[in-house]
Amino acid sequence: MWAELDEGAAPISSFRSAPINRICSENPVVHKHAKERIRNYEEFAQSVQPWQSATRR
């Protein structure tokens, strides 16, 4: 199970470490053990849930 977590964290590490000014990801809430495996992990600056941007009628 830990090997699968490492395997899943690798692409996220590459994505979050890319030389890009702004990064957006879906489902950004990260499990505490995954945070330990993602290189240079930083908490996200902003989180928006779908219900927060829904048009109120």
Query: In this structure, is residue 34 part of a structural domain?
Result: yes
* Res 28: pLDDT: 64
Query: In this structure, is residue 57 part of a structural domain?
Result: no
pTM value surpassing 0.85: no
Is residue 26 within 8 Å of 44, Cβ to Cβ?
no
pLDDT digits (tens, 9 = 90+) for 30-41: 888 988 998 888
* Res 27: pLDDT: 67
User: Which is higher by pLDDT, 29 or 27?
Assistant: 29
Please state the domain count of the chain: 1
Is residue 35 within 8 Å of 41, Cβ to Cβ?
yes
R_g (Cα) of the chain, nearest Å: 14
**Spatial separation of the C-alpha atoms in residues 41 and 51, rounded to whole Å:** 26
Query: The domain containing residue 43 runs over which residues?
Result: 2-52
